[in-house]
Structure 1
């Protein structure tokens, strides 16, 4: 059973996203080699899920990547690499792929595909099921919170975010910490290049 999710961004309904989250991936090096070889069948934004704190973060990066694509302002070679680049806190494309893209040792993968003519969510689902050796899970904030490497994110975004002791609004300390981290990261992502 596929847990791929199709998401239409409100400002870009003509560019729906097909998104899948995979834990315990065993063939990240194969996926990375396909990207490096320029294999058109593997034209995805493959991200290391340990540096994605929430749905909001990947949706913000996807919006920015698609917006740059639609406005003909891309700095990378396709909309999928532009999405990976949109996670970056700076304008160094190579550094953004090292930090956010998959590596040979990546264990958890977030796959994003911008659907276009001739490409359907069903075909993307079949392709990913055939080529990603890992456990597909729901694309939920709960799963991102389980997989995220908060220390690594703080270092990448140069943040010193700590959860407030005790929570006044009823959320747990971990939830509050994740929410504050998300808010800080979204701010840094939004300021890049401005």
Structure 2
């Protein structure tokens, strides 16, 4: 059930291009969803993101902003705005690597799904109904608290080459933990913003 599907109006982008976002845990049919993407099935034209590679809501939103902005300005490097979202999360300019590191795999258990309303027939209700029928997983809140349970900080730091930064939770508590997470988040956002286009 996609009852947690939310409409994300990204600041600085037109309200006519909302993104519909839902986070799933314990997904049972990742291999099927990935196969639909690989076969080019238009009904499954979504950004299917391995949620373990998403640090925070701001991290995901930055990738969505970058991809939708590139879509609006006809600068897409990949097939569509949804694959561009996965590509935008990667600090490098390699599309295939982006899908290997940030995209859905056959074993993905935590999945962030994004659909951008690039046509009038894409509505909150249509996306919710399709995902409810298609994704076998438990919808959970798309918030920093839930993502902190899912994020693989070690893998994220490795991909972004940020090993020298302190990790949230590494023998820190309270204010130190918040500071470490914020420093890491700002580094990720900077990498997304500065990646060559």
- Whether TM exceeds 0.5 here: the answer is yes
Shift of the alpha carbon at 1:181?
A: 1.5
Q: Say whether 1:123 aligns with 2:133.
A: no
- 2:179 equivalent in structure 1: 176
- Relative to the length of structure 1, the TM-score reads 0.93
**How many residues are matched?**
191
47-56 vs 127-136, greater mean Cα deviation? 127-136
2:148 paired residue among 145, 150, 160: 145
44-53 vs 171-180, greater mean Cα deviation? 171-180
- 1:84 equivalent in structure 2: 86
Q: Which ranges of structure 1 fall in alignment gaps of 5 or more residues? A: none
Kept in 1, the 8 Å contact 2:4–2:140? The answer is yes
- 1:73 equivalent in structure 2: 75
- Give the distance between the partners of 1:46 and 1:166, measured in 2 at CA: 32
Q: Which ranges of structure 2 fall in alignment gaps of 5 or more residues? A: none
SS of 2:142's equivalent in the other structure is: coil
SS of 2:9's equivalent in the other structure is: strand
- Give the distance between the partners of 2:185 and 2:194, measured in 1 at CA: 14
Kept in 2, the 8 Å contact 1:21–1:138? The answer is yes
Instruction: Give the alignment's Cα RMSD to 1 decimal.
Output: 1.6
- 1:92-119 CA-partner distances (Å, limit 9, x unpaired): 0100010000000111000000013111
- 1:102 equivalent in structure 2: 104
Kept in 2, the 8 Å contact 1:25–1:135? The answer is yes
115-124 vs 46-55, greater mean Cα deviation? 115-124
- 2:62 equivalent in structure 1: 60
- Relative to the length of structure 2, the TM-score reads 0.92
1:24 paired residue among 8, 23, 26: 26
Kept in 2, the 8 Å contact 1:23–1:109? The answer is yes
